[in-house]
Amino acid sequence: MSQNISVPDIGDFDSVEIIEVLVKVGDQVSKDDPIVTLESDKSSVEVPSPIAGKITELNIKVGDKVSKGSLLAKLEGAPSSDERSKAEKDDSESSTEDKRDNSESNKEASEKRYSKSVNIIKNKNKIFASSSSADGDIDPLETNEWIESLNAVIENDGPSRASYLLNKVVSEAYTAGLVLPDTRTTPYINTIPTELEAKSPGDQNIEKKIRAYIRWNAAAMVVRANKISSELGGHIGTFASAATLYDVGMNHFWRAKNKDFGGDLIYFQGHSAPGMYARAFLEGRLSDKQLNRFRQEVNPGGLSSYPHPWLMPKFWQFPTVSMGLGPIMGIYQARFLKYLINRGLLKDEGRKIWVFLGDGETDEPESLGAISLAAREKLDNLIFVINCNLQRLDGPVRGNGKIIQELEGSFRGAGWNVLKVIWGSYWDPLLKADKTGLLMKRMNEVVDGEYQAMKAKGGAYVREKFFGKYPELKKLVSSMTDNDIWKLNRGGHDPHKVYAAYHAAVRHQGSPTVVIAKTVKGYGMGKSGESINTTHQQKKLDEKDLLYYRDRFNVPLTDEQVKNIEYYKPAENSEEIKYLIERRKQLGGFIPERSSLAVPIKAPPKDIFESFMKSTGDKEMSTTMALVRMLTNLLRDKNVAPRLVPIIPDEARTFGMEGFFRKIGIYAHEGQKYEPEDSEQLSSYKETKSGQVLEEGITEAGAMSSWIAAATAYTNHDIEMIPVYIFYSMFGFQRVGDFAWAAGDAQARGFLIGATAGRTTLAGEGLQHQDGHSHILASMIPNCVSYDPTFSYEMAVIFREGLRRMHEKNENVFYYITAMNENYSHPEKPEGADEGILKGMYLFKEYKNKGKIKIQLLGSGTILREAIAAAKVLSEEYNVDSDIWSVTSFTELRKNGMEIERKNLLNPDSKKEKSYIEKCLEKRDGPIIAVTDYVRSYSDQIRPYTDKSFYSLGTDGFGRSDTRKNLRKFFEVDKEHIIAYTLSALAKEQLLGSESAEKAFRKYNIDKKKAFPTKL
Ligand X SMILES: Cc1ncc(C[n+]2csc(CCOP(=O)(O)OP(=O)(O)O)c2C)c(N)n1
| Residue ranges that bind ligand X, judged by CB under 6 A | 238, 241, 271, 321-323, 358-361, 387, 389, 391-393, 397, 521, 536
How far apart, in whole angstroms, are the C-alpha atoms of residue 782 and residue 76? 56
Residue 238 interaction partner, one of ligand X, Mg ion, none, beta carbon < 5-8 Å per kind? ligand X
Nearer residue to ligand X within complex by CB, 270 or 592? 270
For the chain, how big is the Rg over CA atoms in Å? 33
Partner from Mg ion, ligand X, none contacting 897, C-beta within 5 to 8 A by type? none
**Site membership for Mg ion, residue 840 (CB under 5 A):** no
Sheet-wide strand order for 353-358: 265-267, 353-358, 382-388, 513-518, 417-421
Piece in contact with Mg ion (CB under 5 A), picked from 4-12, 324-332, 360-368, 505-513:
360-368
Q: Which of 97, 359, 406, 408 binds Mg ion (CB under 5 A)?
A: 359
Residue 338 vs 392, nearer CB to ligand X: 392
Contact 264, 385 (CB under 8 A): no
Residue 322's contacts (CB-CB under 8 Å, 6 or more residues apart) are 270, 738, 741, 742
Q: How far is the CB of 750 from ligand X (least distance, A)?
A: 24
Number of residues that bind Mg ion (CB under 5 A): 5
| Rounded least distance, CB 282 to Mg ion, Å | 26
For the CB of residue 367, give the shortest distance to ligand X in the complex, in Å.
Answer: 9
> Taking contact as CB under 5 A, which single stretch among the options 116-124, 126-134, 289-297, 389-397 is the one that binds Mg ion?
389-397
Q: b/e string for 823-858 if b means 16 or more Cβ within 10 A?
A: eeebbebbeebbebbbbbbbbbbebeeebebbbbbb
Question: 195: how many CB neighbours lie within 10 A of its CB?
Answer: 10
Which among Mg ion, ligand X, none contacts residue 323 (Cβ within 5 to 8 A by kind)? ligand X
**Is there binding between residue 358 and Mg ion (CB under 5 A)?**
yes
- Give the residue with the Cβ less far from ligand X, 516 or 820: 516
What's the CA gap between 266 and 811, in Å, rounded?
Answer: 25
Per residue, what are the HEC states of 168-201?
Answer: HHHHHHHHCCCCCCCCCCCCCCCCCCHHHCCCCC
Least distance in Å: CB of 455 to Mg ion? 13
Q: Which does 868 bind (CB under 5 to 8 A by kind): ligand X, Mg ion, none?
A: none
Cis peptide before 782 (omega within 30 of 0): no
For residue 449, what are the CA distances in angstroms to 190, 398, 576, 947?
20, 7, 38, 64
Shortest approach of ligand X to residue 236 CB, angstroms?
10
Kindly tell me which of 226 and 856 has the beta carbon lying closer to ligand X. Answer: 226
Task: Look at residue 271 and give the partner it binds from ligand X, Mg ion, none, a contact being a CB closer than 5 to 8 Å depending on partner kind.
Answer: ligand X
For Mg ion, give the closer residue by CB, 98 or 359: 359
Which of 801, 824, 795 minimizes the C-alpha distance to 813?
Answer: 801
Least distance to Mg ion from the beta carbon of 492, Å? 11
Strand partners, 647: 694, 725
Answer whether 649's CB lies under 8 Å from 703's CB: yes
3-state secondary structure of 886: strand
Query: Would you give the distance in Å from CA 401 to the centre of its chain?
Result: 31
Residues 612/795, Cβ–Cβ less than 8 Å: yes
Q: How far is the CB of 235 from Mg ion (least distance, A)?
A: 11
> Which H or E run contains 35?
strand 34-39
Say which entry of ligand X, Mg ion, none residue 853 contacts (CB below 5 to 8 A, set by partner kind).
Answer: none
> Which CB atom, from 358 or from 750, has the smaller least distance to ligand X?
358
522 binds Mg ion (CB under 5 A): no
Given the complex with Mg ion, which of 396 and 959 has the nearer CB atom? 396
Measured from the CB atom, the residue of 388 and 757 that comes closer to Mg ion is: 388
* Bridge-based pairing state of the strands 784-787 and 814-819: parallel
DSSP symbols for 203-214: -HHHHHHHHHHH
Sign of CA dihedral 761, 764, 767, 768: negative
Given the rule CB under 5 A, which of 124-132, 391-399, 412-420, 578-586 is the region that contacts Mg ion?
391-399
Q: Lay out the site mask for Mg ion across 393-432 (x = CB under 5 A, - = otherwise).
A: ----------------------------------------
Shortest gap between Cβ of 498 and ligand X (angstroms)? 16
Which is closer to ligand X, CB of 402 or CB of 521?
Answer: 521
Phi, psi of 522 (to 5 degrees): 70, 30
The option from Mg ion, ligand X, none interacting with 781 (CB < 5 to 8 A, set by class) reads none
Q: Which is nearer to Mg ion, 359 or 972 (CB)?
A: 359
Please give the helix or strand (H or E) that residue 412 lies within, else none: helix 403-414
Q: Which is nearer to Mg ion, 215 or 441 (CB)?
A: 215
- Closest approach of ligand X to the CB of residue 363, in Å: 8
Smallest separation (angstroms) from ligand X to the CB of 272: 7
Which runs of consecutive H residues, i.e. helices, occur in 194-351? 204-228, 237-248, 273-282, 288-291, 325-342
361 binds, among Mg ion, ligand X, none (CB under 5 to 8 A by kind): ligand X
Q: Residues in the site for Mg ion, rule: CB under 5 A? A: 358-360, 389, 391
